[in-house]
């Protein structure tokens, strides 16, 4: 049970998995401060979440933006929860029809998914360390990876590298922050119905569907949020990456025609 003044920073919380997490936290009495890049999406998110939620515009990879979001969070209560859902999808072959993968795109994907996650963790942890412990912990940080961290498909070199980095830093972060009574856990989702995947072309979607096992459908964001809520409430889960994928193991994606 979180203390009544608990605030959670939810990055990417204006849509998809992050919005579902913000909604779940709100229902449990936690004030979600949602960080996102788009003012318009932020407005829409607040419309669906209600007045208790807070939106802050910003980029997770930007030190000033994240610092400002943390300042806002602290004005609303005690920051005990961070859920990093901000991230960008990306698919492009290493050598495609138009030549080699653009180096700048590789850097962009790493910056949003990996550097951004680390930036939020480092700045939030420093604030959480000042909390009075509640039930022997000062805070919990949940990051979001992907199955691509383990079985990246053709066209996912950049995305897999970014999510693999999130997985790899989970244990060293948890080990270091243990001394401050802060847990760090990563969730690796399989296929979930969110705005990000709405743009996946039909052929690619049908190919992904072949990898479904049981249940034979894509996940609902609320099922992801349910796992995050369990992680937040269960002090024994720490330093680990949990898959939530209905037994999916992604195939190589050799027929994928990303360029
Ligand atoms: N949906 C899936 O099937 C799936 C599978 C595996 C992993 N994931 C991961 O889950 C997370 C959430 O994905 P989603 O499907 O809900 O996507 P989404 O596009 O609905 O939500 C992601 C949000 O992050 C925001 N964002 C992106 N870069 C940002 C930045 N630099 N700063 C601040 N905000 C930023 C976007 O604006 C968006 O609102 C992502 O990290 C994604 O890689 C999703």
Chain segment 128-171, per-residue pLDDT in tens: 999 999 999 999 999 999 999 999 999 999 999 999 999 999 99
Per-residue pLDDT at 257 exceeds 80: no
Task: Report all structural domains of the chain as residue ranges with CATH numbers, in order of start.
Answer: 6-244 (3.40.50.720)
**pLDDT band for position 200 (cuts 50, 70, 90):** confident
Calpha distance 196→158 (Å, rounded): 17
Which residue, among 172, 176, 201, has the nearest Cα to 186 in the 3D structure?
Answer: 172
**Would you call 109 exposed, middle or buried from its count of C-beta atoms within 10 A (0-12, 13-18, 19+)?**
buried
Catalytic residue among 11, 13, 59, 159: 159
- The verdict on the CB of residue 144 being under 6 Å from ligand 1 is yes
Give residue 197's pLDDT: 87
Please report which helix (H) or strand (E) contains residue 205, including its range: helix 202-209
Give residue 135's pLDDT: 96
- Asked if 183 and 175 count as a contact pair (C-beta separation under 8 A), the reply is no
Q: What is the DSSP string of 107-134?
A: HHHHIIIIIHHHHHHHHHHHHHTTSPPB
- Best residue for ligand 1 mutational test, from 37, 143, 196 (most atoms within 8 Å of Cβ): 196
How many Å lie between the centroid of ligand 1 and the Cα of residue 146? 11
Give residue 254's pLDDT: 79
How many Å lie between the centroid of ligand 1 and the Cα of residue 12? 6
The rounded mean pLDDT for the chain is 96
| Residue reference for tokens 């193991």 | 249
Q: Mean pLDDT across the stretch 22-31?
A: 98
113 secondary structure, DSSP code:
I
**Would you call 203 exposed, middle or buried from its count of C-beta atoms within 10 A (0-12, 13-18, 19+)?**
exposed
159 is catalytic: yes
Q: Mean pLDDT across the stretch 28-44?
A: 97
Q: Mean pLDDT across the stretch 217-222?
A: 98
How many Å lie between the centroid of ligand 1 and the Cα of residue 106? 17
User: In this predicted structure, which of 74-83, 128-137, 167-176, 197-206 has the lowest mean pLDDT?
Assistant: 197-206
Alpha carbon distances (Å) from 235 to 1, 175, 176, 211, 239 = 11, 14, 16, 33, 11
Per-residue pLDDT at 111 exceeds 50: yes
Give residue 256's pLDDT: 57
- Asked if 5 and 78 count as a contact pair (C-beta separation under 8 A), the reply is yes
In ligand 1, the atom with minimum distance to the C-alpha of 191 is 3
> Strand, coil or helix: what is 188?
strand
According to DSSP, the residues that pair with 44 across neighbouring strands are: none
Calpha distance 67→166 (Å, rounded): 21
Calpha distance 106→94 (Å, rounded): 10
**pLDDT band for position 93 (cuts 50, 70, 90):** very high
């Amino acid at each position: 049970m979180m203390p009544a003044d608990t605030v959670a920073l939810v990055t990417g919380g204006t849509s998809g998995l992050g919005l579902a997490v913000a909604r779940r936290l709100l229902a449990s009495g936690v004030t979600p401060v949602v960080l996102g890049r788009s003012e318009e999406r932020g407005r829409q998110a607040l419309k669906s979440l209600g007045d208790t939620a807070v939106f802050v515009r910003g980029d997770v990879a930007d030190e000033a933006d994240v610092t400002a979001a943390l300042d806002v969070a602290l004005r609303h209560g005690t920051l005990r929860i961070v859920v990093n859902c901000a991230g960008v999808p990306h698919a492009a072959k290493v050598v495609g029809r138009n030549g080699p993968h653009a180096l700048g795109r590789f850097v962009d994907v790493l910056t949003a998914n990996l550097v951004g996650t680390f930036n939020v963790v480092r700045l939030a942890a420093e604030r959480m360390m000042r909390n009075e412990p509640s039930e022997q912990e000062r805070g919990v940080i949940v990051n979001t990876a992907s199955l691509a961290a383990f079985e990246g498909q053709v066209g996912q070199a950049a995305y897999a590298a970014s999510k693999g980095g999130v997985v790899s830093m989970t244990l060293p972060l948890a080990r270091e922050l243990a001394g401050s009574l802060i847990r760090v856990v990563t969730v690796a989702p399989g296929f979930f119905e969110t705005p990000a995947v709405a743009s996946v072309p039909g052929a690619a979607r049908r190919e992904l569907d072949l990898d479904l096992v049981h249940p034979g459908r894509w996940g609902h964001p609320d099922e992801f949020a349910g796992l995050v809520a369990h992680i937040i409430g269960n002090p024994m889960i720490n330093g680990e990456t949990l898959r939530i994928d209905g037994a999916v193991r992604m195939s190589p994606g050799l027929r994928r025609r990303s360029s």
